[in-house]
Amino acid sequence: MKERARAARQEQQIIGLVPTMGALHAGHLALVERARRECSPVYASIFLNPKQFAANEDLSRYPRPLEADVEKLTAARVDGLFLPEAGEIYPAGFSTYVHVEGLSERLEGRSRAGHFRGVSTVVLKLLEIVQPHFAYFGRKDAQQVRIVQQMVRDLNLDTEIVVCPIVREADGLAMSSRNAYLQGEERRAATTLFRALRAAESEIAAGVRDSLELQGAMRKVLASEPRARVDYAEIVDAETFEPVVRVARRCYAVLAVYVGKTRLIDNMLIEPVGEELRVEV
């Protein structure tokens, strides 16, 4: 992979990378499509990163449909698939980690200790190996993307992080590899996250700017679903991911909710446009 990347850069080609953990869906393929419009060659990586899973999380049952993933990437016309083994990424005696202070302790970091250390470390390794000019991430993992952006800036890496819109199912559920865990009534109940974000959107359209009122609107919807258990539902600054009192700058409404045993996340971008607020769900 490093040899191919060096050769592409020597030929002044624009390298794009779509990093994934596999179990690909239309959201991943939208990243590939965007990358193909802007780069050549485009590489995808599949690496189920053990360092970002805690001992009590779902690494052992995380879906691994490699043959189907390869078919999807072939159809999407990627120029190469980087498929390293865990021992290549984390050789014996591995002891170097990347930690983005502050951002990594909030929200997802608070609920999943060590998660972002694993994310930052593996993303840095992928960027160093593939040396892409552009790397493509989905906005569903907004906090992760923000941490990667901070890492890239702080370490002076030569990669631009491109953030792409959330891709949703027809009923609003954000596409995620973990959606495969949802069956029957749990699948229906999972749409409560999207409905909660829509409730906050309606409040914003009605002129509400107080974050507690917006959180209350989301929690009211979530509380109406007996299969849903809220981890967090907050309005946070889009740069720091600290809670805000009033929506007056670029923010996210962020959710983490258990539906049965499946933990789902979602978000809505809120940003000022003139005197108004624009919302992107």
Does the active-site annotation cover 28?
yes
Q: Tokens 């539902």 — which residue?
A: 233
Q: Tokens 């050789």 — which residue?
A: 91
H or E segment and range at residue 28: helix 26-38
Quote the crossing angle between the two packed helices 115-130 and 142-154, to the nearest 10°. 60
d(CA 186, CA 23): 20
Choosing from 25, 28, 115, 133, the catalytic residue is 28
Give the C-alpha distances (Å, rounded to integers) separating 267 from 18, 112, 154, 232: 21, 18, 25, 11
Structural contact between residues 219 and 83, judged by C-beta atoms closer than 8 angstroms: no
Pairing verdict, β 228-237 and 160-164:
unpaired
Query: Which are the catalytic amino acids?
Result: 28
